[in-house]
Structure 1
Amino acid sequence: MFQKLHVQLTLFCTLICGMILVLMSLICLSVSEKESRKRNFADFRINVNMLVNHLENQTVISYAWISQFCADTHFELDIRDNGSRLVFDALAPSSMDEAYFNQVRQKAKTDYGILEESVTADSILSTHEEFELTINGTAYYGAMVLIPKNKRALNIAVLYSMSGLHKRVLFQRLLFAGADIFGVLLLSVFFWFFTWRMIQPLAVSRQKQAEFVASASHELRSPLTVMLSCLSAMKQASPAEAAHFSETIEQEGKRMGRLIEDMLTLSGTDSSHFAIRKKPVELDTLLLSAYEKFEPLARKKCISLQIFLPEEIVRPCLCDKERMEQVFAILLDNAISYTPKEGCISLSLKNSSDKLTFRIADNGVGIPDTEKEAVFERFYRCDKSHKDKSHFGLGLCIAREIIQMHRGKLWIEDTPGGGATFVVELNLHFK
């Protein structure tokens, strides 16, 4: 399922970002082409003005200058004086048909009103106009120039092919297209890894959920199997045996109830429905209460339970009293369960300006460094051979969830001389 989602997210993100990239490229390309056309037409007009200025100041037209000018500008010229063609008849014939230049003159006459007849003996100013036109499907810049000369007029038709501009535009388009294709490929690679990193927590969460369901099913099946077996045996048992089976059923039912309660607690933290009712609480008093509650159990198991509280007054902490009682109960119950006879458990509280630090230290078997984080996972047991049915591997997970919802920290340290120390750190300014 996640593989399919990974592919779909990659394609969707690549498609959306690719469309944005292509759209931005088209906008940039459009602006670039527009500016390129303006610049190219402006260069054409400058060259036409250069031609006009030169011819206006010359009494004799130099074939050499005209040839060099056409070579430099790639202009095609048709110069006529009183209807006679003056340029490139023998020296350098025009590569274009005379009909092309006639279309230039016709467009200038029709669209801009430039007529050779308008030049009189008294005319002293040149007239010229630049424009675009298409001849036989090919785009050109054209210009019509009339220069008064000795009571007559030089009639000059200019053509400049836009094929060079079109080649540059085509190259630019291909360059943008290549860049877009390369960009889309890079985006697809990026989103392939990026979406996988996004999906990874979901995949891990689903895996943990599946493991949780499998472990919960196993844990629930055990007491249920015992209860069904006892019920079956009670049908043929004596009254004394039936009472024993009844007691066993009751114990397993309570055990199942505790497991279901723990599972509901974790479910509440997962769905953000885990209520934290904050109010000022004297946590030193709460720790002392937990000590008094578990001291008889520790004494029964021949375990020394000690408590060390600071002499100065401990300021109240804004927290949930019931939940903190639950945390202390989980940690103390865990310590007592894993501490051997004649062992020792100590409770201590350190008070600083902005934090309260609790330590529940035992001298039991301890926890390896590689498992110090794993013990907070659901249904995890550090000691696989531990057979205490009252523990399901959920307590430490619940304790950490509660502390984290108080914006505190819970971690494990090694007890000097052997054993494990659970450290709880709470912020006094938590709101």
Structure 2
Amino acid sequence: MFSKLKRRLVLLYGITSSIILSVIIIGVYIINNRQSQEQNMVLFQKNVEQIVEKFRLEDVINNTWLVRVQEDNRLFVYVEDNGIKLTKYNQMSNLPGSQELIEKIKKLSIEDGINLDRKPLYSTLRKTPVYNVSLSNGKAYYSMAALIPKNAGWLNIMVISCDNQGPGILFKQMFLYVFIDFIGVAALFLISSLYIGKVIKPLEEGQKRQVAFVAAASHELRTPLTVIKAGISSIREDISKSDNFLPHIEEECNRMTRLISDMLLLASSDAKTWSLLKEPVEIDTLLIETYDMFCTCYNNKNYQLTLDLPEEELHVIHGDKERIKQIFTILIDNAMSHTTPGENIDLHAYNQKNYVVVEVEDHGHGICDEDKKQVFERFYRGDGSRNDKKHFGLGLSIAKELIELHEGSIFIKDTPGGGATFVLRLPW
């Protein structure tokens, strides 16, 4: 199911992102192309005006200067004196299709009211606008012409730029942008696959945990139901034996009640409906109350329970008193499950920067590194000491959920000499 969902999300995200990227690249291409054309045209006009002004003011033009200007700016200059071509300044022989260009420029000039082949009627300089002239082979050029009156007649000058973006250059630029777009689309699909994979992974793990939770809960509920069903059947067969079976039925009902209560607590946590009644809590006082309760209720089990509090007062925290007490109860009860009667279970508490730390230390057989990663998982039982009917493997899960609701943390470390120590940190 998640594989199919991942493919659909990757496809949707990839296609949507690719369309957006393609639109952006097309827009950038159009804008850059227009800006490039405008810049080329402005530069071309400045160069033409410089050349025309030079011819207008001077009767003799330095050929070396003109050749350098043409080479530096990739221009071709065609000059006629009274309609006669001046070969001295002519570089048009290096331009394929030059005659065709000249004819087209003269024709466009006539359309703008400037006849380059006739003597001007007035003694004013006349210039054409910038033309975009294309040859029959499809190549395009910028061109501009000027008619300069002189004492002995007139000069007509045609300047052609070979830097205009023809179809070949446009095709190369378009190919470059398409290539960039292709690389971008491929990268987007790769990133979307990795990103969505990471997003879906917690969902997959959550579903696996949910399936495992349901399977474990079903298994835990099946046992008491089987006992209850068998007891009821036996009572039906011989009602005189009811006193033998009713205590077992009642015990299993109580066991189911505890299990369902724990499951409801965890379900409330998952649904984010587990509310806390927060108030100022004195941790040292709460630890003393918990210590007294265990000493009173479990004095017949021969556990040596000790409480070590610092000389200075522990910081008051803001939390749910009953829930914090429930955390302490779960941790101490868990320590008893792992400790042989007669061994010590030690409670330590002290202040730390921004935290109150409580340690529940047992001297049992300890917890291996592999089990430390899983002891807070629901229905997890790491060893045989937890496989009795009094423990479902939910206590530590509930404790962890409660601690996180208080914005605290919990971890396990080894007890010197053997055993495990649960370290609880609550912010103050």
Native 8 Å contact 2:412 2:423 kept in 1 = yes
Q: Could you tell me how far apart the structure 2 residues matched to 1:144 and 1:237 are?
A: 123
Q: Could you tell me how far apart the structure 1 residues matched to 2:356 and 2:95 are?
A: 98
Native 8 Å contact 1:130 1:141 kept in 2 = no
Native 8 Å contact 2:284 2:313 kept in 1 = no
Q: Could you tell me how far apart the structure 2 residues matched to 1:301 and 1:65 are?
A: 111
Judging changes above 3 Å, is the alpha-carbon distance between structure 1 residues 144 and 158 closer, same or farther for their aligned structure 2 residues? same
* Structure 2: gaps of 5 or more residues: none
Judging changes above 3 Å, is the alpha-carbon distance between structure 1 residues 379 and 105 closer, same or farther for their aligned structure 2 residues? same
2:145 aligned partner, one-letter code: M
1:350 aligns with: 350
Judge which range, 257-266 or 196-205, deviates more.
196-205
Judge which range, 329-338 or 317-326, deviates more.
329-338
Q: Could you tell me how far apart the structure 1 residues matched to 2:23 and 2:139 are?
A: 29
Task: Give, in angstroms, the shift of residue 256 of structure 1.
Answer: 0.8
Give structure 1 regions of 4+ aligned residues with deviation exceeding 6 angstroms: 60-72
Task: Give, in angstroms, the shift of residue 274 of structure 1.
Answer: 1.0
1:111 aligns with: 112
Native 8 Å contact 1:10 1:191 kept in 2 = yes
1:193 aligns with: 194
Q: Could you tell me how far apart the structure 2 residues matched to 1:417 and 1:74 are?
A: 92
Give the structure-2-normalised TM-score: 0.85
Q: Could you tell me how far apart the structure 2 residues matched to 1:257 and 1:161 are?
A: 91
1:423 aligns with: 423
Judging changes above 3 Å, is the alpha-carbon distance between structure 1 residues 165 and 36 closer, same or farther for their aligned structure 2 residues? farther
Task: Give, in angstroms, the shift of residue 375 of structure 1.
Answer: 0.9
Judge which range, 286-295 or 44-53, deviates more.
44-53
The superposition leaves residues 308-340 of structure 1 with CA deviations (integer Å, 9 ceiling, x where unpaired) of 334444453321111112112212222222222
Task: Give, in angstroms, the shift of residue 218 of structure 1.
Answer: 0.9
* SS state at 2:11 partner: helix
2:250 aligned partner, one-letter code: E
The superposition leaves residues 206-233 of structure 1 with CA deviations (integer Å, 9 ceiling, x where unpaired) of 1111111111111111111111111112
1:81 aligns with: 82
1:131 aligns with: 130
Task: Give, in angstroms, the shift of residue 23 of structure 1.
Answer: 3.0
2:255 aligned partner, one-letter code: R
Q: Could you tell me how far apart the structure 2 residues matched to 1:85 and 1:92 are?
A: 12
Native 8 Å contact 2:127 2:145 kept in 1 = yes
Q: Could you tell me how far apart the structure 2 residues matched to 1:151 and 1:78 are?
A: 15
2:410 aligns with: 410
Task: Give, in angstroms, the shift of residue 282 of structure 1.
Answer: 2.5
Native 8 Å contact 1:360 1:422 kept in 2 = yes
Native 8 Å contact 2:331 2:396 kept in 1 = yes
Q: Number of residue pairs matched?
A: 423
Native 8 Å contact 1:116 1:146 kept in 2 = no
2:44 aligns with: 44
Q: Could you tell me how far apart the structure 2 residues matched to 1:234 and 1:40 are?
A: 103
1:330 aligns with: 330
1:142 aligns with: 143
Q: Could you tell me how far apart the structure 2 residues matched to 1:305 and 1:385 are?
A: 19
* Structure 1: gaps of 5 or more residues: none
1:220 aligns with: 221
Task: Give, in angstroms, the shift of residue 68 of structure 1.
Answer: 9.0
Judging changes above 3 Å, is the alpha-carbon distance between structure 1 residues 62 and 304 closer, same or farther for their aligned structure 2 residues? closer
1:127 aligned partner, one-letter code: R
Judge which range, 333-342 or 269-278, deviates more.
333-342
Native 8 Å contact 1:303 1:343 kept in 2 = yes
2:233 aligns with: 232
Native 8 Å contact 2:335 2:345 kept in 1 = yes
2:130 aligned partner, one-letter code: F
Task: Give, in angstroms, the shift of residue 198 of structure 1.
Answer: 1.8
Q: Could you tell me how far apart the structure 2 residues matched to 1:148 and 1:359 are?
A: 104
